[in-house]
Amino acid sequence: MNIDVELIEKVVKKVLNDVETGSCESEYGYGIFDTMDEAIEASAKAQKEYMNHSMADRQRYVEGIREVVCTKENLEYMSKLAVEESGMGAYEYKVIKNRLAAVKSPGVEDLTTEALSGDDGLTLVEYCPFGVIGAIAPTTNPTETVICNSIAMLAGGNTVVFSPHPRSKGVSIWLIKKLNAKLEELGAPRNLIVTVKEPSIENTNIMMNHPKVRMLVATGGPGIVKAVMSTGKKAIGAGAGNPPVVVDETADIEKAAKDIVNGCSFDNNLPCIAEKEVIAVDQIADYLIFNMKNNGAYEVKDPEIIEKMVDLVTKDRKKPAVNFVGKSAQYILDKVGIKVGPEVKCIIMEAPKDHPFVQIELMMPILPIVRVPNVDEAIDFAVEVEHGNRHTAMMHSKNVDKLTKMAKEIETTIFVKNGPSYAGIGVGGMGYTTFTIAGPTGEGLTSAKSFCRKRRCVLQDGLHIR
C-alpha cells in the first residue's frame, strides 16, 4: 500500500490548526450563529485578527462585497427574495438600490487623515475602528442596509453583528453568508459580518447590552432609535422621516411633477427619503396635478373612496397598516375597487393639512397634495409636517431666497432642490450613497468615518521637515 505522507501531514496540520483556532471547516456557518452571544464572540475574535490586515486588504474586501452584490445572479436573486419575503417594494427598484449601495458607498478613501506639523513635531489624527458594531436593519431596505453598512464598517476596520428585521431574515442571512464566503476567498478573517439564525427583538436586546459591542447603529423607526440611544453606548440613530415637497409658482412645473412622481413611487415609496406629501402654492396646484397625472399619477377625488383607503391602509388613522407598506399603487387601488394598469405609479388626492395621509409616514405610493395660498405658508407647513425629524425635504422653485429660507428653517439632513428625492442619495445628484441617514445623532449620510473613533498620535520634535 502506498502511503502519501505529504498529504497526511497536510491534513493533520489543517485539523490541528482548525482545532486551535476553533474554526472547523465543516462547521463554519459563514457568519450565521445559533445564539447572539456566539455571534458576538466570533465577531470580537475576528476584529482582533482584522486589526493586523492592511488598508489595502480592507479595500480589497470592500471590492469583494461590491463584486458579490453586483454579480447579476446574486443581484437578481436577493432583489427578488427581498420583495417576496418582506412583501414590500418592487423588484426593479430593489435591483437599483442594491447596486447603488454596492457601488456608491465609500470605502477606505473616506478615512482621511488630519496632520499638524510644526516646531513641536508631527501630530496625526486618524479614523480608527470602534471594534464590534451592532447594526440593526429595517425591513424596508433589508439588503441595502447590510451592503452599505458592511462596506462602511469594514472599511473603518470594524466587524459587524447584524440584527435584521425578522420579516426579512431569510434574505439577510443569505447575503451575509455570500459576503463571508467571498471575504474568506480573499483571505479575510472569518466572521467579519455575523448574525443569528433567528433574528428577534430578544436577540437585538442581547446585542444592545453585550459588553463586547462597542457601538450601536439603528436604522429604523423611532422605537429602535430611542432604544439604542438609551444604552449608554456610542449610538448612531438613523430614524423616521416624513419628507414634504414644496412647489411654488416659480418652479418648472412640468419637471417638478415628473420628479415628484418618480421620487414618490421609487420602490413603492419605501425609502425614508421619498416624497410623502406635496405642498403646492394655489396658483400652480392645478397645473402641477395635471402634469403629475401625465406622468403616471392617478387622482382620486371621491371623498368616500379616500375615506375607504384611510381605513384600509392605516391603523386607527395613526400608523401605516404593515400589510400595505411598500405595496404598489395598482394593488392599493384594486383593494378599493379601482382597476388600473402597472403604468399607474402613485395615487394622488387633494387633502387638508390634518389628513392622516399628510401627517403619517405612510411608506406606500399614496401622495396627498395640500394647497396653500403662498410659498411662505408652504414652507411653514412643511416644517410642521416634517414633525421635527430633520430627515429629508424637497423644494421645487427658482426663487433663491425662498429656497434658502426653506433650507434654513426645515433643518433636514437632506434638502433636495429641483430634483427627485433620490438625487439626495447620489442617484442623479452629486455625492456618495448610504441607506443609513443619521439625523437624530447628527452623522448625516453615514460613511466609513462615521463608524470610527478619531485618535491623535503625537511625535514630539521629529518628522517636521520644513
Catalog residues that contact ligand NAD under the rule CB under 6 A: 136-141, 163-166, 201, 204-205, 219-221, 223-224, 227, 238-241, 272, 361, 435-437
Alpha-helical segments (H) within 4-111: 5-21, 36-50, 55-70, 72-86, 91-104
What is the C-alpha to C-alpha distance for residues 332 and 264, in angstroms, rounded to an integer?
15
Residue 438 CB, shortest distance to ligand NAD, in Å, is 7
Q: What are the beta bridge partners of residue 281?
A: 372
227 vs 395, which CB is nearer to ligand NAD? 227
Minimum CB separation from ligand NAD for residue 18, in Å? 33
- Work out the angle between the directed axes of helices 36-50 and 201-209 (0-180°, nearest 10): 40
Q: Measure the CA dihedral 157/161/162/163, to 10°.
A: -150
Instruction: Please give the backbone phi and psi of residue 336, each rounded to the nearest 5 degrees, phi first.
Output: -110, 20
Least distance (Å) between residue 132 CB and ligand NAD: 18
The nearest distance, CB 125 to ligand NAD, in angstroms, is 27
Q: Quick one: which of 279, 265, 276, 261 has its CA closest to 397?
A: 279
Instruction: Decide whether 298 or 435 has the Cβ nearer to ligand NAD.
Output: 435
CB of 69 to ligand NAD, least distance (A): 18
Q: What is the DSSP letter of 119?
A: T
Q: CA 40 to CA 203: how far, in whole Å?
A: 11
Whether 463 contacts 121, CB under 8 Å: yes
- How near is the Cβ of 452 to ligand NAD at its closest, in Å? 19
Question: Residue 361: which residues within 8 A CB-CB, separation 6 or more?
Answer: 240, 241, 242, 272, 276, 320
Beta bridge partners of 437: 445
Closer Cβ to ligand NAD, 87 or 166, answer by number: 166
115 φ, ψ (degrees, to nearest 5)? -130, 140
Taking the C-alpha atoms of residue 256 and residue 262, their distance in angstroms, rounded to an integer, is: 10
Amino acid at 398: K
Give CA–CA dist 419/428, Å, rounded.
Answer: 8
* Cβ-closest position to ligand NAD: 220
Cα dihedral sign, 78-268-145-323: negative
Three-state SS sequence of 359-411: HCCCCCCEEEEEEECCHHHHHHHHHHHCCCCCCEEEEECCCHHHHHHHHHHHC
Using only the alpha carbons of the chain, give its radius of gyration.
25
Residue 22 CB, nearest approach to ligand NAD (Å): 29
Minimum CB distance to ligand NAD, residue 322 (Å): 8
Nearer to ligand NAD, 42 or 238 (CB): 238
Nearer to ligand NAD, 200 or 374 (CB): 200
Q: Least distance to ligand NAD from the beta carbon of 5, Å? A: 53
CB of 221 to ligand NAD, least distance (A): 3
For residue 1, what is the DSSP state? -
Of 21, 16, 70, the residue nearest 48 (C-alpha): 21
